[in-house]
Amino acid sequence: MLSTPPVISFVTSAAIAAALSFSPVVAAQKKPRVDPDGPDPKVSVTIALAVGAARYDSTGQGVCLEIPEGSIYAEPATLYSVRQTTDKQRLNMTLYRLKKGGDMLTLNVTVGKDTHSVSTVKVGENGVALGSATAKLERSGSAGTLTIDATDPKGVKITGTVTCAAFNRPLSSNGL
């Protein structure tokens, strides 16, 4: 019966171990971390929300955008969008200020493992209301504070403020 000399087994095992330990490094180098808030310029964002019994309190970098000549379902509107992601929290909201008057809001808030979604977007036959919400925007130069009073479809209240140090224009490459 033929057997592999111990030296060859050791060399082969060492080579396999080295290859396996190197492969995650190569994989990590091939996949750059994608910013969950997108490529747009970052600004200081302060969020102070009560989300049911939980809190979303954060001051850090996020994305705040203003699109003066936007639209929603072909209705001209100015859009104000805020995105911020931390390890355990995420906020994604857009205030649509219709040129003909009236505001509509989409809001998604994640605190821990719980996500709450609200949408008041309804234009003609387009859109489906999901919960209820109002948002007031108070501008101060390029900065602004959104005061939110919302209730998701399960009855969870979401109230508080989102303050952006500036509302920027989106990068032209992001499709907006």
pLDDT digit string, tens, across residues 59-85: 999 999 999 999 999 999 999 999 999
Note the pLDDT of residue 31: 64
In a domain, 12, yes or no: no
pLDDT band with cut points at 50, 70 and 90 for residue 90: very high
Distances in Å between the Cα of 19 and the Cα atoms of 5, 13, 24 are 22, 10, 9
Q: Is the pLDDT of residue 144 over 80?
A: yes
Q: Is the pLDDT of residue 109 over 80?
A: yes
Residues facing 127 on adjacent strands: none
In a domain, 25, yes or no: no
Note the pLDDT of residue 17: 44
pLDDT band with cut points at 50, 70 and 90 for residue 8: very low
pTM: 0.77
Element at 139 (helix H, strand E): strand 132-140
What pLDDT digit, counting tens, does each position of 18-60 carry?
444 444 444 445 666 676 777 677 999 999 999 999 999 999 9
Burial 81-111 (b: 16+ CB within 10 A, else e): bbbbbeeebbbbbbbbbeeeeebbbbbbbbb
Note the pLDDT of residue 27: 47
The torsion angles phi and psi of 23, rounded to 5 degrees, stand at -60, -40
pLDDT band with cut points at 50, 70 and 90 for residue 9: very low
Note the pLDDT of residue 87: 87
Which residue in 42, 39, 38 sits closest to 168, CA to CA?
Answer: 42
Total structural domains in the chain? Answer: 1
Mean of pLDDT over the chain? 84
In a domain, 115, yes or no: yes
Structural domain including 140 reads 43-171
In a domain, 8, yes or no: no
In a domain, 65, yes or no: yes
CB 149 within 8 A of CB 39: no
What is the C-alpha to C-alpha distance for residues 115 and 131, in angstroms, rounded to an integer? 13
In a domain, 28, yes or no: no
Which residue in 70, 149, 75, 69 sits closest to 107, CA to CA?
Answer: 149
In a domain, 127, yes or no: yes
For β-strands 103-111 and 75-85, DSSP reports them as unpaired
Q: Is the pLDDT of residue 150 over 90?
A: yes
In a domain, 108, yes or no: yes
Which residue in 33, 45, 40, 61 sits closest to 176, CA to CA?
Answer: 40
pLDDT band with cut points at 50, 70 and 90 for residue 145: very high
